[in-house]
Structure formats: C-alpha cells, structure tokens
C-alpha cells in the first residue's frame, strides 16, 4: 500500500502528524509537499501532485490531500482523470465514498478537524474495501469517460 499525501500551509501541520501516524503503522507514505511551512503557498500545486501520483495506479494507490477547508483540495484533485476524491468529515462518509464511489483520494479540512478525528477518517479510508459489484465499477468507469 502506498499513500501519497500533500498539503498547503493550512494543512501542513496535520499532514505531518498524519504522516508520522501512518509510518508508525508501517505504511509507505510519500510526501508530495509542501515540505516546509510557507504561508503564501497554493493548494492547487499540492493537490495536483497527489492526484497525478494516485492516477498512476488509481485502484491501488491512495491519496490524502489537506487544506484549511478541504474544498480546494477536492476541486484540485478531481481535475485529474482516474482520481475520485471526496471531502469527508465523518467515518460514515468515508466508508460510503470508498465502498460505493471507489474514492481513492481523501480530502481533509484541517480547520475543522482535530488530529484524532482526521486519524479516524484516514483509518476508515484505508480499511474500507471498494465494492466490486458491476454497478459500482461501471460508475467509476463513467467518471473517467
């Protein structure tokens, strides 16, 4: 399992804490930036990096993209073919998005989540399998057309 994770300045601290958490679980994590705190950086740069990395193998790779509201990262990552990103703030949303919508990028809002909440969302994202029923596969394919 490989997780590509990226964040702008507002998500920078949460991204780093999540990276440490995932590495402690022996999960391979690739940091897509930002690598230093820069108050004037821009979320599209890091959202695109996460999305392009996940798009290399969208059924096997995972992405986590963090910004203040989570909305910017959701918009940025969904512009890449093969990426199915969702902004989630509950475990139930994550489970639904992963299972039914084959979500492969989880977008998080650092301004509205504690670390423990974000950790729970990431755990649900990684633990929930995608449903393999024909209708769910077809829907994912339709998004790429």
CA 37 to chain CA centroid, nearest Å: 20
**Would you place residue 1 in the very low, low, confident or very high pLDDT band (cuts 50, 70, 90)?**
confident
Domain residue spans in the chain?
A: 2-144
Inform me whether the pLDDT recorded for 142 exceeds 90.
no
Span 80-122, pLDDT tens digits? 999 999 999 999 999 999 999 999 999 999 999 999 999 999 9
Quote the mean pLDDT of the chain: 96
DSSP 11: T
**Would you place residue 53 in the very low, low, confident or very high pLDDT band (cuts 50, 70, 90)?**
very high
Span 116-141, pLDDT tens digits? 999 999 999 999 998 888 988 888 88
Inform me whether the pLDDT recorded for 8 exceeds 90.
yes
If you average pLDDT over residues 58-65, what whole number do you get?
94
Q: What is the model's pLDDT at position 84?
A: 96
Nearest to 23 by CA among 36, 5, 9, 37: 5
Q: Which CATH superfamily includes the segment(s) 2-144?
A: Sugar-phosphate isomerase, RpiB/LacA/LacB (3.40.1400.10)
Straight-line distance from the first to the last Cα atom of the chain, in angstroms, rounded to the nearest whole number: 26
Inform me whether the pLDDT recorded for 17 exceeds 90.
yes
With b for 16 or more beta-carbon neighbours within 10 A and e for fewer, the 98-132 pattern comes to bebbbbbbbbbbbeebeeeebbebbebbbebebee
71 CB neighbour count, 10 Å cutoff: 13
81 CB neighbour count, 10 Å cutoff: 11
57 CB neighbour count, 10 Å cutoff: 11
Inform me whether the pLDDT recorded for 4 exceeds 90.
yes
If you average pLDDT over residues 29-56, what whole number do you get?
98
> What percent of the chain is modeled with pLDDT above 90?
86
Joined tokens for residue 43 = 């979320």
């Amino acid at each position: 399992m490989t997780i590509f994770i990226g964040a702008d300045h507002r998500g920078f601290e949460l991204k780093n804490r999540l990276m440490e958490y995932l590495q402690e679980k022996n999960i391979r994590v690739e940091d897509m930036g930002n690598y230093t705190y820069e108050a004037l950086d821009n979320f599209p740069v890091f959202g695109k990096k996460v999305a392009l990395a996940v798009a290399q193998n969208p059924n096997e790779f995972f992405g986590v993209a963090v910004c203040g509201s989570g909305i910017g990262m959701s918009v940025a990552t969904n512009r890449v073919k093969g990426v199915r990103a969702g902004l989630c703030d509950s475990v139930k949303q994550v489970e639904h998005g992963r299972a039914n919508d084959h979500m492969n990028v989880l977008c998080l809002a650092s301004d509205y989540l504690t670390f423990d909440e974000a950790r729970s969302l990431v755990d649900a994202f990684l633990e929930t399998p995608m449903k393999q029923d024909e209708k769910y596969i077809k829907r994912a394919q339709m998004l790429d057309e």
